[in-house]
């Protein structure tokens, strides 16, 4: 019997996807401006161009599902429910940030809502999500472990270890590869012979799904099925989202010599937000005017988050030793 197709998102769900993508985009545009103005320091890896991935996946997750992120983690954090204010304050190293200003851009944590952290280390999200799913299975907790990782992580040992074990033990986990074709400036095709990440799933015995990572509806549909499988005890899924970062690897870095302007322009023409906007307007889900109103509200939210962070205090110097050793 042919598999029943998952239902399309409702009007409310579609508009929520649109709004979430805009939150990710407008917040990072604001951070980019602040970085250029010297208002924040350190590595800032934007997710601009890839918003459909975190948005489509996290729309299916609950607070008690656990997401493990990457160095490019602002979008994962926001999509999982970290507020723009907490994110901005953390990136600016303020005491009001979700890690108390200790972490910065690459150490955003909010375990209360299942955001288990971004990380400067490439790869461990995969084994951590497998471990979380394994713990949930042993403890009989209805919880899904979700790993986001880039193409650069797929040749790390953690990819093999995490995915192999998750498949072998039917662990409730979802492995989301954001294949943006480059690891810093190294093209994926130079790092591996088989550039189709989803096809690797066959060798571990789990489903591997390839989706257009700039089409939030496609990501949403694949994620819905993967979450359903995980919750039903059917095991993990590997989802490869083909996508593209349209800014440099990290703010302040050069963005030339390893990819062409034509390639960047081509992907910009497939902007995930504009693509969904077209579908919403063409399908009469909402008018352009209604979408513009959402955008205005979201822009205001990003500006408010920036002002909140700039107005927040730095951590007290006297607290420098707190969170270093266990207390008591």
Ligand X SMILES: Cc1ncc(C[n+]2csc(CCOP(=O)(O)OP(=O)(O)O)c2C)c(N)n1
Locate tokens 């280390």: which residue?
Answer: 121
Stretch that binds ligand X, among 53-61, 175-183, 200-208, 312-320 (CB under 6 A): 175-183
In the complex, minimum distance from the CB of residue 177 to ligand X, in angstroms, rounded to a whole number: 9
168 vs 186 by CB, closer to Mg ion: 186
Query: Hey, what long-range contacts does 103-109 have (CB within 8 A, 24 or more apart)?
Result: 104/42, 105/42, 105/43, 105/44, 105/45, 105/73, 105/74, 106/42, 106/43, 106/45, 106/71, 106/73, 108/69, 108/73, 108/74, 108/77, 108/82
Locate tokens 């205001």: which residue?
Answer: 300
Burial 90-124 (b: 16+ CB within 10 A, else e): bbbbbebbbbbbbbbbbbbbbeebbbbbbbeebbb
178 vs 271 by CB, closer to ligand X: 178
Q: Do the Cβ atoms of 115 and 147 come closer than 8 Å?
A: no
Locate tokens 């250029």: which residue?
Answer: 36
- In DSSP terms, 176 is beta-bridged to 148, 239
Locate tokens 């409310």: which residue?
Answer: 12
153 is a contact residue toward ligand X (CB under 6 A): yes
102 vs 270 by CB, closer to Mg ion: 270
Bin 81: left if φ > 0, else alpha if -120 < ψ < 50, else beta: left
Contact partner, 121, from Mg ion, ligand X, none, Cβ < 5-8 Å per class: ligand X
In the complex, minimum distance from the CB of residue 152 to Mg ion, in angstroms, rounded to a whole number: 5
123 is a contact residue toward ligand X (CB under 6 A): yes
Give the one residue of 28, 50, 90, 151 binding Mg ion; rule: CB under 5 A: 151
In the complex, minimum distance from the CB of residue 62 to ligand X, in angstroms, rounded to a whole number: 26
Q: Supply 273's token pair.
A: 């937000």
Give the one residue of 25, 60, 72, 94 binding ligand X; rule: CB under 6 A: 72
Percent helix / strand / coil, the chain, rounded to 5 = 45, 10, 45
In the complex, minimum distance from the CB of residue 296 to ligand X, in angstroms, rounded to a whole number: 30
Q: Which residue is nearest to Mg ion (CB)?
A: 150
129 vs 306 by CB, closer to ligand X: 129
DSSP 170: T
107 is a contact residue toward ligand X (CB under 6 A): no
Give the one residue of 65, 86, 151, 221 binding ligand X; rule: CB under 6 A: 151
80 is a contact residue toward ligand X (CB under 6 A): no
126 is a contact residue toward ligand X (CB under 6 A): no
Give the one residue of 98, 183, 223, 302 binding ligand X; rule: CB under 6 A: 183
Residues that bind Mg ion (CB under 5 A): 150-152, 180, 183
Residues that bind ligand X (CB under 6 A): 71-72, 120-123, 150-153, 178, 180, 182-184, 249
């Amino acid at each position: 019997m042919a598999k029943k197709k998952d239902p399309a998102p409702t009007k409310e769900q579609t508009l929520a996807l649109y709004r979430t993508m805009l939150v990710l985009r407008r917040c990072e545009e604001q951070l980019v401006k602040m970085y250029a103005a010297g208002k924040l320091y350190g590595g800032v890896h934007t997710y601009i161009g890839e918003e459909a991935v975190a948005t489509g996946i996290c729309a299916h997750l609950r607070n008690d599902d656990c997401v493990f992120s990457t160095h490019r983690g602002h979008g994962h954090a926001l999509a999982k429910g970290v507020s723009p204010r907490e994110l901005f304050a953390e990136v600016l190293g303020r005491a009001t940030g979700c890690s108390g200003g200790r972490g910065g851009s690459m150490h955003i944590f909010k375990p209360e809502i299942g955001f288990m952290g971004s990380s400067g280390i490439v790869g461990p999200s995969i084994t951590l999500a497998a471990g979380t799913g394994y713990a949930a299975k042993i403890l009989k907790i209805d919880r899904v472990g979700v790993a986001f990782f880039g193409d650069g992580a797929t040749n790390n040992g953690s990819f093999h270890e995490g995915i192999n074990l998750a498949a072998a033990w039917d662990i409730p986990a979802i492995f989301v590869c954001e294949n943006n074709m480059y690891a810093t400036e190294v093209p994926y095709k130079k790092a591996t012979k088989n550039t189709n990440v989803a096809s690797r799933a066959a060798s571990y015995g789990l489903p591997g799904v390839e989706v257009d990572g700039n089409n939030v509806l496609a990501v949403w549909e694949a994620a819905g099925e993967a979450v359903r499988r995980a919750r039903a005890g059917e095991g993990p899924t590997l989802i490869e989202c083909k996508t593209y970062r349209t800014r440099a690897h990290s703010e302040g870095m050069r963005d030339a010599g390893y990819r062409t302007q034509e390639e960047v322009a081509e992907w910009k023409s497939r902007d995930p937000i504009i693509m969904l906007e077209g579908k919403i307007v063409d399908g009469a889900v909402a008018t352009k005017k209604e979408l513009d109103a959402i955008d205005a509200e979201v822009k205001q939210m990003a500006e408010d988050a920036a002002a909140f962070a700039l107005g927040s205090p730095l951590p007290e110097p006297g607290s420098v030793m707190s969170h270093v050793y266990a207390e008591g």
